[in-house]
Amino acid sequence: MMNFSPFRANFSLLAALILSTFLLAIPESATAGQCLKSKVVDRPKIGLVLGGGGARGYAHVGVLKKLEELRIPYDFVTGTSMGSIVGGLLATGMESDELARVVREADWDDLFSDKTQREDLPFRRKTEDNLGLFGPKLGIGKDSDLLPKGVVSGQKIVFMFESVVSQRVNTSDFNNLPIPFRAIATDIISGDMVVIGEGELSMAMRASMAVPGVFDPVRREGALLVDGGLVRNLPVDVAKDMGAEVVIAVDVGTKLAGEEEMTNALAIIYQMSGLLTVHNTDIQIDAMKNEDILVSPAIGDLISSADFSKLDEAIPLGYAAAEAVENQLRRFSLSQSEYEAWRRQIDSCVEGPPQVHFVQLNNQSRFSDDVIMEMVKVKPGESLDLEQLNHDLRQIYGLGFIRQARYSVIEQEGQQGIEITVFQDERGTDFIETGLDLSFSARGTTVNLRGAYLKTDLDERGAEFRGMVQVGESPGIFVDYFKPLDDRLRWSLHPSASYFSRPLYLYDQEGDAVAEVELDEFSGAFAISREFSRYARATAGFTRYTGNLDIT
């Protein structure tokens, strides 16, 4: 006979209800070991669309600040150009104050320059200043490009993006970011829009902002990617494709030049790009539905796309624009507790700094793997030391004729590590160098033109040969050979020879020239050197001079 206990039955029923409720509340990705994301069931899914516009995109930060005050969530983020930078950082779980801090602390003038600090140059590169070959260096050879594809390779800005992003997230699937994200770029070969939803977040941001001619295009899956503003400066449709039922789109505008500014070919080319951007933005705005919200900061002529020092002026403009549509935005406000729960969900997806369990090299330069790895001091078994890694990459890039040296966080067999990628200069390994000097004196102006051939890949340690010819007031030739002797590039041999014909003048006590001396000088030298880091060098060797004097 079975005994029946109402208390036991009620308790079992209650336990079953609690268990089923708990299981339903588990975020859909929790069981997969991914970041915790619950299904949106009691409100529309919101997509945040951040348009491009260079420094005008700073206004996005002000819009975000207002959205936070109104407790408005967003489930998807899409961005183009500067919008992809702000959107990419936002997708890592940042809030507006932290995002503003990152942008404010960035030295944009330095980030947009690939120039290597002198302290990071090896002595081979430092002593080249003595040759005066400051003109353009042109690549020659079968597989080389005459000139780089952009003025800036992005060496510094890629490190900045990766160093910020990798401290927070390290997933290659943008759906698994704290907020799902898409960056928009243009395939400059086909003209098609490319929606980037996987891979390295830092490189997606870099590709989306690659203004043609200014930044190198980014190669990805057979495409050559440049700024997405050419095809979709305000990617509303991309947010809809991600699943957004409602879109909040922020258009920071593209300033077109007036007739009085159309004074040269460069201005006309820039205007053409602007027209393309404005046209595709208008199409996206026209396609927005009644329930969608457009935020348009009144930037006008106050901030240009290049005014990267005007963050504090741009933020209030974005805030004011969001405030102007506050009544529309309030439809999507959450209660305090709901908003805090949404934020906790996002924060649960932030992974924190990576642990380095291994260091891997993807070396596409003229140097051997051993040479590159000798410069990498980051060691496995520790948290990623960004300061040390930045130093290591600067040392590699400082070798010269390296287009980019960067890192990415990768995962293998469940362990995190870093991959260091080194790209050879796209101009190749053989170069034509040029130089010019002018000097002025009471006797007139003297001019010397220089041209040189430089070969940089004579062996896997970067042995080099240079032959230079100078014509003008002081004609001559110069040849040298540079051979590193060890993988750490500490020891090197350096033989050289030269011939120059130089005019010299003799002056009396009043400073008047009384005679001219024509000096024909031949020299030969041989040196062995030992570098101590990149701060000092000891050299032993000899130099022999001989020549003729002709006094007139």
CATH label of the domain that carries residue 301:
3.40.1090.10
In a domain, residue 191? The reply is yes
412 and 492: one domain? no
Residues 80 and 216 in one domain: yes
Classify 520 in phi/psi space as left (phi over 0), alpha (psi -120 to 50) or beta. Answer: beta
Q: For residue 510, is it within any domain?
A: yes
Mean pLDDT of all residues in the chain? 88
Where residue 4 falls among pLDDT bands split at 50, 70, 90? Answer: very low
Better-scored residue on pLDDT, 267 or 48: 48
pLDDT of residue 194: 97
- Which spans in 70-117 are helix H? 82-91, 96-105, 108-111
Q: Which of 131, 127, 129 is nearest to 477 (CA)?
A: 131
Residue 489 covered by a domain: yes
- Closest by CA position to 443, among listed 518, 520, 511, 519: 511
Q: Which residue has the higher pLDDT, 355 or 24?
A: 355
Closest CA to 262 of 249, 272, 276: 272
The pLDDT confidence band at residue 19, using thresholds 50, 70 and 90, is: very low
pLDDT of residue 35: 59
Same domain, 103 and 216: yes
pLDDT of res. 519 = 87
Ranges 170-179, 266-275, 288-297, 303-312: which has the least confidence: 266-275
User: Are 446 and 415 within one domain?
Assistant: no
Query: Domains in the chain: how many in total?
Result: 3
> Given pLDDT bands bounded at 50, 70 and 90, which one contains residue 34?
low
Same domain (yes/no): 408, 539: no
Q: What are phi and psi of 371, to 5 degrees?
A: -65, -45
Task: Please name which of 347, 117, 358, 81 lies closest in space to residue 229, comparing C-alpha atoms.
Answer: 81
Burial class (CB in 10 A: 0-12, 13-18, 19+), 227: buried
At residue 71, does pLDDT exceed 80? yes
Position 449 scores a pLDDT of: 95
Residues spanned by the domain of 298: 46-114+155-254+292-348
Whether the pLDDT of residue 302 is over 50: the answer is yes
Q: What is the pLDDT of residue 22?
A: 34
pLDDT tens digits for range 481-497: 999 999 999 999 999 99
Question: How buried is residue 228: exposed, middle or buried, by Cβ count under 10 Å (0-12/13-18/19+)?
Answer: buried
Q: Which residues contact 314 (CB under 8 A, 6 or more apart)?
A: 55, 56, 57, 58, 59, 61, 62, 297, 299, 303
pLDDT in the model for residue 264? 67
Same domain flag for 513 and 410: no
Q: Is the pLDDT of residue 32 over 70?
A: no
The DSSP code for 510 is T
Q: Is the pLDDT of residue 17 over 60?
A: no
In a domain, 34, yes or no: no
With 50 as the cut, is the pLDDT of residue 135 above it?
yes
Percent above pLDDT 90 for the chain:
69
Determine, yes or no, domain membership for 125. Answer: no
Q: What percent of the chain has pLDDT over 70?
A: 90
CA distance 526 to 317: 64
Residue 124 counted as domain residue: no
- Would you say residue 11 has pLDDT above 60? no
Sign of CA dihedral 106, 108, 111, 114: negative
- The whole-angstrom distance between residue 45's C-alpha and the CA centroid of its chain comes to 32
Same domain, 170 and 76: yes
Q: Are residues 414 and 443 in the same domain?
A: no
Residue 111: CB atoms within 10 Å: 18
Q: Which of 329, 348, 367 is the last residue of a domain?
A: 348
512 pLDDT tier (thresholds 50, 70, 90): confident
Q: Which two tokens stand for residue 269?
A: 């080319």
Residue 267 confidence (pLDDT): 65
pLDDT at position 443, please? 64
More confident residue, 13 or 96: 96
Looking up tokens 């990498």 gives 376
Q: What's residue 269's pLDDT?
A: 64
Residue 380 shares a structural domain with residue 510? no
* Angle, alpha carbons 336-337-341 (nearest 5°): 115
110 with 79, same domain?
yes
Report if residue 271 sits inside a domain. no
Residue 437's pLDDT is 87
Q: What is the CATH number of the domain that holds 369?
A: 3.10.20.310
pLDDT at 396: 97
The dihedral over CA atoms of 38, 40, 42, 47, expressed in degrees to the nearest 10, equals: 140
320-355 pLDDT per residue, tens: 999 999 999 999 999 999 999 999 999 999 988 898
Residue 276 lies in a domain: no
Residue 456 to residues 44, 124, 275, 432, 460, Cα–Cα distance (Å): 59, 12, 43, 12, 10
Give residue-wise pLDDT tens across range 237-257: 999 999 999 999 999 987 776
Residue 64: its pLDDT value, please?
98
Q: Give the pLDDT score at 28.
A: 40
- Please check whether residues 419 and 478 belong to one and the same domain: no
What is the pLDDT at residue 295? 97
Give residue 514's pLDDT: 75
Examine the pLDDT at 222 and tell me if it is beyond 80.
yes
Closest by CA to 58, choosing from 304, 266, 234, 366, is 304
Nearest in space to 96 (alpha carbons), one of 120, 66, 118, 123: 66
407 and 529 in a single domain? The answer is no
Q: How far from each other are the two terminal CA atoms of the chain, in whole angstroms?
A: 135
Range in 3-17, 165-179, 331-345 the model is least confident about: 3-17
Q: Which residues does 405 contact at the CB level (< 8 Å), separation at least 6?
A: 155, 393, 396, 397, 420, 421, 422, 423
Closest residue by Cα to residue 250 from 68, 77, 69, 73: 77
